[in-house]
A and B are shown apart, each in its own frame.
Chain A
């Protein structure tokens, strides 16, 4: 029997230990695997005669889909991490300043009169995609796509599924609103609760992207990240999140839902919501596919941290707004 010690990278949470051990112990040639999070090593016992090099390759191929890898040599962590975060914070803040200035400018608040047609709802979608709704929908998309890329999941596929899920469910739900004429999508409380959940997810993922959790190895949110890791592999997840964005609190979405509701027919309602979702697509696509491609570029370390700062900022904004919206705290700002 042979015993080897490998260095493992990608362990960012306490649950990673369990996940890696589970996967490795499933392999036929492994008798026992033990992960040591502190030293970022894994000790394996095996009775096969494959060379350590081969073994690293075999085992890495098994845990790679979950974002981990093994090596014989310790991969030297970029010690520049500290500098990166100090560049990332001001950069992220610049994006936040620009975003809030745009909101404050009133530039987006021109009135669109008349009857809501698919064309006006497309234009409203375009406006909505850079409005304060971007804080919640865009922030969620940015954090999820950056996280998915960071975890080395098949990000392009997931993002495509998300957008398909979003546009298709907007059309179907819009059609249902038009046909039934009753307010399935317009519960304030449901919207507010979903908004608060989204804000919390953004805060956690944002801090994680910034490397706050990874650095100090805080074990508290391990359960959440384990859950997240588990569900981000499912094909259904991005479709469902796309579907869920229909119910996220956003004045523009809600106005469009009312328009679909009063249209009185499945086809008109579906067209209005479809056109609206299509209008929001360019900006959201830029956010999601843009972050995926940046995540695979040489700017990846900086990008993840900048995205983290932006997402945390938008998360705080949405959280405070959401709490004020359901009356838990007094409104803190008018923007």
Chain B
């Protein structure tokens, strides 16, 4: 194969990697930056946001109300991968989640437009909650 062909193949592969990393291959239940998912409910004046961990976090983008006491519930079911080691820097949370169970994290009263970002220990999975 000559050099030009190889260069073209190389460029194609780089685009391929770009699509794998940033392409929109996600289902609607995961949400995107433009269309976040609402996954919260308010009980007794406390807002509960539910995120499922396991091979990443779901939903990746969600939206909740600002200005009320909020708790994040992270559900796990038989997981061992990176998403089990969760770090939420803004509230100083870092812990290995139980393989199966649900972890309640108090995130106080979130401010408007200060999103909450969770990331796994190696940094390859993350989720973002916007407060409005």
Where the two chains meet, the residues of A that have a C-beta atom closer than 8 Å to any C-beta of B are 83, 86-87, 89-90, 93-94, 96-97, 100-101, 103-104, 106, 108-109, 111-114, 116, 124, 127-128, 131-133, 136, 186, 188, 191-192, 195, 249-252, 254-259, 317-318, 320-327, 330-335
Which 5 pairs between the two chains have the least Cβ-Cβ distance? Answer: A109-B55, A111-B78, A251-B82, A321-B123, A325-B123
Across-interface contacts of A100 in B (CB, < 8 A): 17, 20-21
The segment from B8-16, B36-44, B64-72, B102-110 found at the interface with A is B8-16
Q: Decide: B78 and A254 in contact? CB cutoff 8 A.
A: no
For A262, the closest partner residue in chain B by CB is B98
Q: Decide: A251 and B123 in contact? CB cutoff 8 A.
A: no
Alpha-carbon gap, A320 to B123, bound state (A): 8
Within 8 Å by CB of A335, from B21, B94, B96, B119, lies B21
Tell whether A252 pairs with B20 under 8 Å between CB atoms, given A320-B123, A325-B122.
no
Tell whether A251 pairs with B6 under 8 Å between CB atoms, given A96-B17, A101-B20, A324-B126.
no
Q: How far is the CB of B68 from chain A (nearest CB, A)?
A: 26
Where the two chains meet, the residues of B that have a C-beta atom closer than 8 Å to any C-beta of A are 1, 3, 6-7, 9-10, 13-14, 16-17, 20-22, 25, 54-57, 60, 77-85, 87, 89, 94, 96, 99-100, 117, 119-126
A-B contact pairs, 24 of them (CB 8 A): A93-B10, A93-B16, A103-B124, A109-B55, A128-B80, A188-B94, A191-B121, A249-B122, A251-B84, A251-B85, A251-B121, A251-B122, A252-B80, A252-B82, A255-B99, A321-B124, A322-B123, A325-B121, A325-B122, A326-B123, A332-B21, A334-B57, A334-B60, A335-B21
For A120, the closest partner residue in chain B by CB is B80
Q: Decide: B122 and A109 in contact? CB cutoff 8 A.
A: no
Q: Decide: A104 and B20 in contact? CB cutoff 8 A.
A: yes
Q: How far is the CB of B59 from chain A (nearest CB, A)?
A: 11
Q: Decide: B81 and A251 in contact? CB cutoff 8 A.
A: yes
Across-interface contacts of A108 in B (CB, < 8 A): 55, 81
Q: How far is the CB of A149 from chain B (nearest CB, A)?
A: 25
Q: Which of A101, A124, A255 has the most CB of B within 10 A?
A: A255
Tell whether A188 pairs with B60 under 8 Å between CB atoms, given A108-B55, A250-B82, A334-B124.
no
Within 8 Å by CB of B121, from A254, A256, A334, lies A254
For B26, the closest partner residue in chain A by CB is A334
Alpha-carbon gap, A255 to B55, bound state (A): 14
For B100, the closest partner residue in chain A by CB is A113
Q: Which of A124, A318, A323, A325 has the most CB of B within 10 A?
A: A325
Q: Decide: A113 and B119 in contact? CB cutoff 8 A.
A: no
Q: Decide: B77 and A113 in contact? CB cutoff 8 A.
A: yes
For B14, the closest partner residue in chain A by CB is A93
Alpha-carbon gap, A249 to B29, bound state (A): 29
